[in-house]
Structure 1
Amino acid sequence: MANLEEKSILEDNIRYSYMSVVWSHKIQEKQSDILAGEYKKLEIVRLICNALTSVGLISLIFTDQFLIKFVATMISFVSTLSSMHFKSFDTQNSIINHKKAANELLGIRDKLRILLVKVKLESKDDFELLSEYEYLIKQLDQIYREAPSTTDKAVKKASKALKINGDNSFSTEEIDANLPESLRRK
C-alpha cells in the first residue's frame, strides 16, 4: 500500500459500503417476509370466502331467506376483492423480486468482505484495490436501480433484526458485529 492513510480511507469506505449492503439486504428480506405473510392471510380469507359462498348458494336450494342471500353476496364480494387484489398487485411476483434483490445484495456483500480481506492482507496495490471497489460499487448501483421499493415496516423490522437504531450511520461496533472476527477492528 502507498501509505497508511490511503489504506485507512479505502478500508473505511469499503466497510461503510459493506454495512450498507448488510442493511439493504435485510430490508429486502424483511419486505419479502411481510408480503409473504400478507399473501398467506389473503389466501386463507379467499379460501374461506369461497367455501362460505358455496355453502350459501347451496343453502339457497333449500330455502329462500333474504339473510342467506345477503350474507352469501357479501362473502362473494370479499372473495372477489381478494382475487382482484392478487391480480392487480401480483404479490407473488413482488415476493420473488424482493428475494432476488436480497440474494444479489448477499453476493455483493461477500465480494466486499473479500475485498476487505485483500486490504487487510495488502495483497494488491492501491490502484487494483480501488478499481475492484469501484467495479463492485457499479454492480451495487445496478442492483439498487432494479430493486423493488420497500416499506417503512420492512426498514423497522430490518433495524430490529440487525439491532441498529441509527439511520445509515454505522459505528465500528455495528460493522464489526457483522464481520468475521479476523476483519474486525476491535
Structure 2
Amino acid sequence: MLSGGLAETPLHGGLVGPTFACIIGIQFRNLRKCDRFWYESGNPLIRFTDSQLAEIRKITLSKVICDTSDEVISIQRANFDIPDPFLNPRVNCDALPGVNLELWKERITCKVNDLSIETGDARRTSPCVMCTCTKEGPLCQSLKIENCFHLAQSFSRQAILQDHVCKVQCAFAFRAFPSVKTGENRIGFS
C-alpha cells in the first residue's frame, strides 16, 4: 500500500495522491472529533461562546508573530505565502485584527430587566418567565402555567397582563371570571 500511495500522481495543489490525502484527512478529522478539549466542542461546560469563537477565528499567524516578536513591525497578511504587493502585501502589525480578551472575562452576574441573577442561579423575572444566569449570559424560558388563579394570588393583575407569556396563557381567565380572592385583596379580571 505504501509503494502504491507514493506512486500516485499528487492532487492539484497537494504533495500526495488521493489515497494518502484521504488517509491524512480522516486522521485529522478523527483527532479533532475525539479531542474533548477541541475549541469548537459542542459541550456546554467547556465550549467557547459564539462571540469568543468569532474572535479566535479572526486572528492570524501573522498577528501572533507580530504580538510575540520584539523587532517585527510589518509582515505579510498570509504568513506562509510569499509576499506579493497585490495578492499578499506586507502591512503594519497594527493593521492586523487582534483578539478582544474582554469576551473571556468571567461573568459573575447577569442583568435581566432590573434584576441581578448570580451565575448558576435561576429566578423568575416576570410572572411567567424564568431566567437562569450562565457563563454565556442569561437564558430565559417561558413557564407553563397550570392554574392562572394561583398565579393571580402571587402577582398583580397588571404584572400578569404586562407579561406577554402570561397574557397568552391566562387571557381566558381574565375574561371568564369576574374576580379571584387573594388573601385580603380581591383582584378583578374583568
TM-score by length of 1: 0.25
Give the number of the structure with larger relative contact order, counting CA–CA contacts within 8 Å between residues 6 or more apart: 1
Tell me which protein shows more strand as a share of its residues. 2
Tell me which protein shows more helix as a share of its residues. 1
Give the greater-gyration-radius structure (CA): 2
